[in-house]
Amino acid sequence: MALSGKEKGKKRVAEWQSWEKSAQDRKFLVIGGACAVLAVVILIALVFHVRNGMVERQLVAQSRSMLINTHPPQLLQPFFCDAQSASQGANNIQTFLTNIGSLAASDITTTFLLQVVPEQHIGIATFDQIPAGNCHARPRGARQMASIRAGEETAAHLPQPGMTLPPLLSGESLQLYGVSCVYYSDSLRNDHATCDTYRYRPTRGTPVFVCDGTPQAGKFDETPVNSCTN
């Protein structure tokens, strides 16, 4: 049976709508496929970057001495501070070093700095910011250690670490950070350094406490919050 002009028009519209929907579906498939390919490329690039960084560090370690902080430092006595009297104390710090390189490290200098950072900023960057070590400037007059052979691990005892205490109000909340740095030379007399910043966590669990003279026993977190090496 022959279709009328009106029915033919409806058929052509339906065919056009069907083709247009198919074109849109193909467009979405193409866009989705392109996004999937891009995601895979980005993932491969990230994996390559991470592996390349690890390989580069291993190669560097194989060609010279390289000292690292093997474990977080330990406070051998509880930390205390008192905002009213502006007194503080933290003696007997122990740090742990390992030479993961292939050559001995010599002329070793270890430093440790404790810094109190108030929860309420006081407008002075030195006190408000989480501290970071300086891997480019070896301090003068700091404690010296004997050489450390390749693969050797040792502990450094620092009886009187440096301390930075900002002006605090009574009852003011704060956090405590420790910066452990080691400066050394390789067999070619090139200078190197490694610094890691750790956050202190009292035994009650939270890293935030009050500077009211109460001794705060605890330990530093395993993972550094700031690091540098050269």
pTM value is 0.69
Q: What is the pLDDT of residue 173?
A: 86
Q: Could you tell me how many residues make up the chain?
A: 230
List, run by run, the mean pLDDT of 10-residue segments along the chain (230 residues).
55 57 59 67 60 50 82 90 69 90 92 89 86 90 81 87 75 89 90 96 88 88 94
- Of 161, 195, 154, nearest to 176 by C-alpha is 161
Cβ contacts of residue 74 below 8 Å, gap of 6+?
Answer: 93, 94, 95, 219, 220
